[in-house]
Each structure stands twice: as structure tokens, then as C-alpha cells.
Amino acid sequence: MENLIQQLRDGRLRPGEGLTFGNHRADPVEHIPFDVQALAKDFQVGQKVSGEPYRFHIKTYGCQMNEHDTETMAGLLAAMGMVDTAEDTAADLILFNTCAVRENAEDKVFGEIGRLRSLKAHNPELLLGLCGCMAQEKSVIQFVREKFPWVDLVFGTHNLHRLPVLVMQARQSQETVLEVWEGPRQTIESLPRLRRDAVRAWVNVQYGCNKFCTYCIVPYTRGTERSRHPEDILTEISGLLHEGVKEVTLLGQNVNDYGVDLDGVNFAELLRAVNALPGIERIRFTTSNPWNFTDELITVIAQSKHVVEHIHLPVQSGNNQILKQMNRTHTREFYLALVNKIRRIIPDVSLTTDIIVGFPGETESQFTDTLNLLEEVQFDNAFTFIYSPRENTPAAIWQDDISMNEKRLRLQRLNDLQYAISLKKNQALQGQVVEVLTEGRSKTNADVLAGRTRTNKLVLFPGSEELTGKLVQVKIEHPQTWTLKGQKM
């Protein structure tokens, strides 16, 4: 690994060139470089009769992995000669990049597809496509074919790279073009991307998950774990840094497992390597499973200058019986001991988590255990959800015996507690000066800049747009529950 970094630092290898990294190609999934030149040559859409370009619009739901996939699809479509548009009414192609983790996310997608029926009727040449995790569900495909015949294209998470072919087929077909692979056949490298953020970038290090939590559909929609080769990851990041990116977030359904299907590399070693890349300012990663959050990984985070002090560590429940039924492998005691260890070695760490309420059979006493854990850990933030059964997961066959009203009440109690904790932790920053990576103009106030601390706190402060991409010192004057307002020093 050290030799690889030295080659990049010395300029003997430029971003995009092939690298070698020992004997680690042990995974059964074939890694294939994408031919961008062939895409540009063979799949050009041309222009409309009016002389205007064809336009696309992608609606994205769910996690950062989906956001990253949207950038890839946008890059593929741009290479075909299409132009991105923020307005679906101006688009010639609309894609729904979907999430299947919770039922309400699916309901939103179906509602949007229904809304666009009139747009499709007004413009018969408009192409509508469904992709992402929902497309991997057979019941969803059947439902779409029966209820939404105006959808022209359906494809899954494993054949995203075939989007140009599928778009061309959909333009010529009178029927819905359907191509969903049940499992990954290749990992395609060097796909083009159209990024909307010049300061930050997401980089996949791993795909899929082997944990099979009983409530979770991800292993069925994303497949089992496949790690990208480290040289491909480092080459991609090096290229991003060359373009001016300051912060990268390493993405995986369970990044701790990175390298288990390779020889001679793990996630801690990958973090060390990324930290050594010239030009990197900040490194984040998500998501982590508590069970294999190793001592080596904690040490690397503590010792690496550019790895930030923020860890997202989903606990899901504070009760051991519920955790066992969820197949979460960790216990309450294990989780609390891990938190204490992390805070001992990384004193300024910010911890966030995911929690599910209303899991089948969850009693009031078991829910109280979760509230008590929240109080004990004092998370900086928690992403909280009401349990909803997902088809084909083990938990889906269990009786969903908690009323929706009770689930909502528990969610409100949980959120009320977390909001108070988040506000208290932010108020502790009153008067402090924090380092902020400026991301650009605030979405709600053009006179204000927005950025984040190393601990992932959103900071708003007055300033000029020329500060975008810069690290600045900001004095916190008005801490709130979700934002910190201050003045640049």
C-alpha cells in the first residue's frame, strides 16, 4: 500500500491509470473497465427536430448509495448527449431512482408516477423509467406493469451500466423495456459521473451486504458483499482531488467488511491509504456495523489527520431481545462498551445512529430500554424510523402486532428526547471557534454560506461565494437543534 501511495505522490501514476496492488483478486465477481469512448460513439441521441438537446431529470429517493448511483446515471446520459434539467416538465426522460427500505418511500414513488400520467399523455414521446432498489422486487415490477402501463423502462441496481442500451430500446419499443438482474455479474469500473457538488464526492468502496438483518431488504436488492479493488478506489479519489474535490465519503452498506473478499487488505488499511493521498482534506465513511468495528479501525481514525471525528453507528434498538430478533449480532452491553472505547480514544468524536421503533413484538418495557440507551449514549443525532415489513425478509412473516398509532407515539417520544439531546450538545459549542469546510450558498438564504464541521455539524455564516471549497474558522454565536449559526473569524 505504501508503494502505491508513493507512486501517486511522485507523479509516476496519474489519475485514471491502472495500478497494481499485490495478489488480492480473489472475489468471484469480474471487474470490468467501462468504455466511455464507445458510449460517446455508439449511443448518441442527437438533437430534437427543433435543434434543442434531449433533456433528462432524475428523481432520487433514499440513501447516499442512491445519490451516487444518480450521479452515475447522469454521467451516462450526459455522455449520450443529453442535458440535465431540474424541471420534470422540461424533460424527455424521467427516471425514478428508488429506495425499498421502507414502505412510505415506495408509496411516494407510486404517487409521483401516478402524477406524471397527465404529463405523459400530453407528451407521448416522454420516457418514464423506474430503477433502483424497488425495481429488484418482483411484486413491484408486477404492480407497475398492472397499474402504471405508461412506464417505459424498468431496470435494477446490478445493470445500471446498461442504461444507454435500455434507453435506446425504450425509444423504439411499444412495450415496457424490462431488464432486472437478480445478482451482480460484474463490477463495472470507470463509469462516467455528473457530480453536482464541486467540494464533496461519494466513492463506493463496497457493494451489497452479508448481515441479513431480519427487517432489511438491502441484501436482496443490492446483493451480497463485493469489495472494489483498492487501486481502483485510490485512482478514482486521486482523480477527484485533481478536479478540486476536498472531501470524500467512502460508501458501503457495511464498510467494516471491506476487503473480506480480497486478499491482504481491510478497511482500516484502506483508510490509511486514502489519508496519505496528496491534496485530501477530509475523509468520511458510512455505514458501519457495530459488531466488527475493530480496535485497529478506531486507532486509524484517531491517528489519521484527514479522517474526521464523526462515526455513524446504527444501533437500531436498545433491547437485547429485539436486537436478537433483528439478527443484529451485537448486544446492548457490547454497543455501550464500544461507544466508551471510541470516546476514550477519540475524545471529540460525534456519534450518530439509526433506530427502529415498533418492531414486531416490541413491548413498552423494551422500547423504554431504547430510550434509556439514547439517554446514556447522548448521540449527536439519530435517524429514527417506524418499522414497516419488507416483502421476502424474515421479519415480514411475523405478526405486525403494534398499532400504527402506538408506533407514531413511540417515534414522537424518541424524537423529543433526541431533539433535546441534540440541542444541548450544540449549545455546548456556544462561543467556540470551529473549522468549517464551505460547501456553497445556503439553500434557503443566498446571503449565507453553508458548510460542515469535521463532526458533521451544519454551520451557516455570512460570506462571499469565493470561500466555497475553503476551510474557514467560524465562531458559533447561535446554536440551534440542527444548525450552528456564526461569524467567520
Confidence band, pLDDT 50/70/90 cuts, at residue 23? very low
Q: Write down the pLDDT at residue 33.
A: 66
What number is the average pLDDT over the span 344-372? 98
In whole angstroms, how far apart are CA 165 and each of 38, 68, 92, 172, 196? Answer: 12, 20, 16, 11, 24
Q: What range defines the domain where residue 441 resides?
A: 433-488
Which pLDDT tens digit goes with each residue over 121-171? 999 899 999 999 988 888 888 999 999 999 999 998 888 888 998 999 998
Confidence band, pLDDT 50/70/90 cuts, at residue 24? very low
> Both 168 and 306 in a single domain?
no
Q: Which residue has the higher pLDDT, 378 or 177?
A: 378
Say how many C-beta atoms besides its own lie within 10 A of residue 459's C-beta: 25
> Within a domain: residue 368?
yes
* Whole-structure pTM value: 0.86
> Both 250 and 336 in a single domain?
yes
Q: Write down the pLDDT at residue 17.
A: 36
> Both 452 and 391 in a single domain?
no
> Both 319 and 195 in a single domain?
yes
What number is the average pLDDT over the span 2-29? 40
- State the residue for C-alpha cell 432498489: 133
> Both 437 and 410 in a single domain?
no
Tell me the average pLDDT of the chain. 89
Q: Write down the pLDDT at residue 63.
A: 85
Q: Write down the pLDDT at residue 447.
A: 87
> Both 203 and 278 in a single domain?
yes
> Both 396 and 462 in a single domain?
no
The amino acid sitting at 207 is: Y
What number is the average pLDDT over the span 384-412? 94
Domain end point (choices 402, 427, 452): 427
Q: Write down the pLDDT at residue 223.
A: 85
Which pLDDT tens digit goes with each residue over 261-304? 888 899 999 999 999 999 999 999 999 999 999 999 999 999 99
- As a whole number of angstroms, the distance between CA 168 and CA 173 comes to 9
Q: Write down the pLDDT at residue 46.
A: 79
* Half-sphere exposure for 83 (CA within 13 Å, toward CB): 10
- Report whether pLDDT(184) > 70: no
Q: What is the CATH number of the domain that holds 451?
A: 2.40.50.140
- Find how far residue 40's CA is from the centre of its chain: 28
What number is the average pLDDT over the span 386-407? 92
- Report whether pLDDT(432) > 90: yes
Which pLDDT tens digit goes with each residue over 35-62? 766 766 677 777 777 888 999 999 999 8
The total number of structural domains in the chain stands at 3
> Within a domain: residue 20?
no
Which pLDDT tens digit goes with each residue over 62-90? 888 889 899 999 999 998 999 999 999 99
- Report whether pLDDT(14) > 80: no
Q: What is the CATH number of the domain that holds 289?
A: 3.80.30.20
The amino acid sitting at 423 is: L
> Both 126 and 209 in a single domain?
no
Q: What is the CATH number of the domain that holds 150?
A: 3.40.50.12160
Which of 178-192, 242-256, 418-432, 468-482 bottoms out in mean pLDDT, i.e. has the lowest? 178-192
> Within a domain: residue 323?
yes
Q: Which residues pair with 132 in a beta bridge?
A: 98
> Both 234 and 168 in a single domain?
no
> Within a domain: residue 25?
no
> Both 289 and 400 in a single domain?
yes
> Within a domain: residue 18?
no
Domain end point (choices 378, 393, 427): 427
Q: Write down the pLDDT at residue 475.
A: 98
Q: What is the edge-to-edge ordering of all strands in the sheet holding 310-312? A: 310-312, 350-357, 381-386
Confidence band, pLDDT 50/70/90 cuts, at residue 13? very low
- Report whether pLDDT(183) > 80: no
Domain end point (choices 380, 405, 427): 427
Say how many C-beta atoms besides its own lie within 10 A of residue 464's C-beta: 10
> Within a domain: residue 19?
no
If DSSP states are collapsed to H, E and C, what string results for the chain?
CHHHHHHHHHCCCCCCCCCCCCCCCCCCCEEEECCHHHHHHHCCCCECCCCCECEEEEEECCCHHHHHHHHHHHHHHHHCCCEECCCHHHCCEEEEEECCCCHHHHHHHHHHHHHCHHHHHHCCCCEEEEEEHHHHCHHHHHHHHHHCCCCCEEECCCCHHHHHHHHHHHHHCCCCEEECCCCCCEEEECCCCCCCCCCEEEEECEECCCCCCCCCCHHHHHCCCEECCHHHHHHHHHHHHHCCCCEEEEECCCHHHCCCCCCCCCHHHHHHHHHCCCCCCEEEEECCCHHHCCHHHHHHHHHCCCECCEEECCCECCCHHHHHHHCCCCCHHHHHHHHHHHHHHCCCCEEEEEEEECCCCCCHHHHHHHHHHHHHHCCCEEEEEECCCCCCCHHHHCCCCCCHHHHHHHHHHHHHHHHHHHHHHHHCCCCCEEEEEEEEECCCCCCEEEEECCCCCEEEEECCHHHCCCEEEEEEEEECCCEEEEEEC
> Within a domain: residue 3?
no
Which of 18-27, 280-289, 341-350, 465-474 bottoms out in mean pLDDT, i.e. has the lowest? 18-27
In whole angstroms, how far apart are CA 199 and each of 74, 168, 450? Answer: 18, 33, 12
> Both 263 and 309 in a single domain?
yes
Cβ burial, residue 323 (10 Å; 0-12/13-18/19+): buried
- Report whether pLDDT(10) > 60: no
> Both 344 and 467 in a single domain?
no
- As a whole number of angstroms, the distance between CA 346 and CA 434 comes to 17
Which pLDDT tens digit goes with each residue over 298-345? 999 999 999 999 999 999 999 999 999 999 999 999 999 999 999 999
> Within a domain: residue 462?
yes
